[in-house]
Amino acid sequence: MSDAAHDVSDQPELSYEQARDELVEVVQRLETGGTTLEESLALWERGEELARVCERRLDGARARLDAAQTPPGSSPDDSDAASASP
Q: Which pLDDT value is given to residue 4?
A: 45
Secondary-structure class of domain 2-73 per CATH: mainly alpha
Domains in the chain: boundaries: 2-73
Q: What are 48-84's pLDDT values in tens digits?
A: 999 999 999 999 999 999 999 988 777 666 655 555 5
Burial group, residue 33, by CB count within 10 angstroms (0-12, 13-18, 19+):
exposed
pTM, full prediction: 0.69
